[in-house]
Amino acid sequence: MPNLRVLSLSNTKIVELPSDISNLVSLQYLDLSGTEIKKLPIEMKNLVQLKTLRLCASKLYSIPRGLISSLLMLQGVGMYNCGLYDQVAEGGVESYGNESLVEELESLKYLMDLSVTIASAYVFKRFLSSRKLPSCTLGICLKMFKGSSSLNLSSLENMKHLYAFMMKDFDSLREIKFDWAEKGKETVGYSSLNPKVKCFHGLRKVAINRCQMLKNLTWLIFAPNLLYLKIGQCDEMEEVIGKGVEDGGNLNPFTKFI
């Protein structure tokens, strides 16, 4: 079917794409969301007309180096909440832990909508340093930052279009920190922050899974438009909003829950 432009295999039990997919030279939209596919074939390089690639919530962990950057017409890439759970990737590393994936996404001239999974603190730092990617990111999933006891999310403030945020499989994370320009760029406690500084206006969905050591999610006081919150298997979490927060205004981020 050389004239096929749209192919959706989302939420099927398909486990592998055949190399013959390279024959779909007119394909512009490919949806593999929610599938059992673990690897993409390098032959997908031939899909030079592809504008949208959706991989969200799939088992995909391996993307051949050079594949994404060869799809020059891509405008939308969905890689939110991708990869394996309770399995070890071949070679021990998923593509989401490699800096090269960030570099390939940066090279996409027409990229406008991005959701991404990142599996390393170093790659997250590299992603945030990009001039292009944070500004077009709608969703970001952070997972498996090995050995990280604290995580600074200050830079998320600059992601003006961020709609969905997920963290999962942080085995040693205890604390989420912020550096606030209003406080001389120092890391401060929540009790001394101004609750009227609402930073995450666009954030609607937050999911925190298997972060066993995390104590609270007090930073959500700065997400005034939050609609959905899911917390699972966070054994040490006793409260969502920490007790140390002074009541200096409306600190309830849950007023718009459906």
User: What pLDDT, on the 0 to 100 scale, is given for residue 148?
Assistant: 81
Which residues in 86-105 are b (16+ Cβ under 10 Å) and which e? eeebeeeebbbbbeebbebb
76-78/113-118 β-pairing: parallel
The mean of the pLDDT values for the chain is 86
Q: Give the whole-number percent of the chain exceeding pLDDT 70.
A: 84
Non-local CB neighbours of 252 within 8 Å, separated by 6+ positions: 221
Among 139, 132, 79, which Cα is nearest to 110's? 132
The most confident of the ranges 90-99, 117-126, 150-159, 234-243 is 117-126
The answer to whether 58 and 81 are in contact (CB under 8 A) is no
Determine the Cα–Cα distance for residues 231 and 218; give it in Å rounded to an integer. Answer: 13
Dump pLDDT digits (tens) for 15-70.
Answer: 999 999 999 999 999 999 999 999 999 999 999 999 999 999 999 999 999 999 99
Tokens linked to 168: 């999962």
Contact between 49 and 21 under an 8 Å Cβ cutoff? The reply is no
Nearest C-alpha neighbor of 178 from the set 169, 170, 187, 167: 187
pTM of the model: 0.87
230 touches 204 (CB < 8 A): no
Question: CA 75, CA 52: separation in Å to the nearest integer?
Answer: 6
Cα distance between the two ends of the chain = 44
The string of pLDDT tens digits covering residues 214-230 is: 988 888 888 888 999 99
Asked if 249 and 221 count as a contact pair (C-beta separation under 8 A), the reply is no
Q: Please report the domains of the chain, with CATH numbers, ordered by start residue.
A: 6-179+196-232 (3.80.10)
Beta strands in 59-178 (DSSP E): 76-78, 113-118, 137-143, 150-152, 164-168, 175-177
When pLDDT is averaged across residues 132-150 and rounded to a whole number, the result is 91
pLDDT at res. 180: 53
